[in-house]
């Protein structure tokens, strides 16, 4: 059984600024010992291309954890987003203070539409 919630994000126009995600959480998670949120990773994948969003440094886009105790975060608008048109599969992993490994709570598809002016 896959416990991961499927969320298909709104389509995005290639070359445009991505609106980001205004609110991630708050979350009530059952089935494991939920501690304070310490990290979120979100990868978009299309073929061999990977675009990384992360709450740690070094990602293509930053995820901001605003309230770790209630698992609230967001992603600000992103200027240079996904580099190719088509369907991008993504998932979002959460790591908390009581965890040895992350838990994947969300997944989905974001469709990037070719921009006719590019």
Does some domain include residue 118?
no
Is 26's pLDDT higher than 90? Answer: no
What tens digit of pLDDT does each residue of 53-80 get?
999 999 999 999 999 988 999 999 999 9
Compute CA 24 distance to the chain's CA centroid, rounded to the nearest angstrom. Answer: 9
Q: How far is Cα 66 from Cα 52, in angstroms, rounded to an integer?
A: 19
State the total domains in the chain.
1
Q: What is the CATH number of the domain that holds 101?
A: 2.60.40.10
Give the number of other CB atoms < 10 A from CB of residue 24: 22
Q: How far is Cα 32 from Cα 59, in angstroms, rounded to an integer?
A: 27
Distance set, CA 40 to CA 37, 47, 49, 110, 114 (Å): 8, 23, 20, 18, 29
72: domain range? 5-113
pLDDT of residue 31: 64
Closest by CA to 41, choosing from 110, 108, 102, is 102
Does some domain include residue 23?
yes
Tokens read off for 2: 């896959």
Q: How confident is the model at residue 81 (pLDDT cuts 50, 70, 90)?
A: very high
Compute CA 62 distance to the chain's CA centroid, rounded to the nearest angstrom. Answer: 10
pTM passes above 0.85: yes
Closest by CA to 109, choosing from 21, 12, 29, is 12
Q: How far is Cα 110 from Cα 37, in angstroms, rounded to an integer?
A: 25
Does some domain include residue 55?
yes
pLDDT mean across residues, the chain: 92
């Amino acid at each position: 059984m896959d416990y991961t919630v499927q969320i298909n994000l709104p389509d995005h126009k290639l070359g445009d600024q991505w609106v980001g995600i205004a609110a991630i959480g708050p979350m009530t998670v059952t089935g494991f010992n939920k501690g304070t949120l310490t990290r979120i990773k979100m990868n978009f994948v299309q073929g061999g291309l990977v675009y990384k969003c992360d709450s740690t440094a070094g990602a293509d886009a930053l995820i901001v954890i605003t309230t770790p105790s209630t698992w609230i975060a967001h992603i600000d608008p992103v200027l240079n987003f996904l580099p190719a048109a088509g369907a991008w599969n993504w998932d979002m992993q959460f790591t908390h203070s009581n965890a040895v490994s992350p838990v994947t709570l969300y997944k989905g598809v974001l469709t990037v539409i070719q921009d006719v002016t590019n």
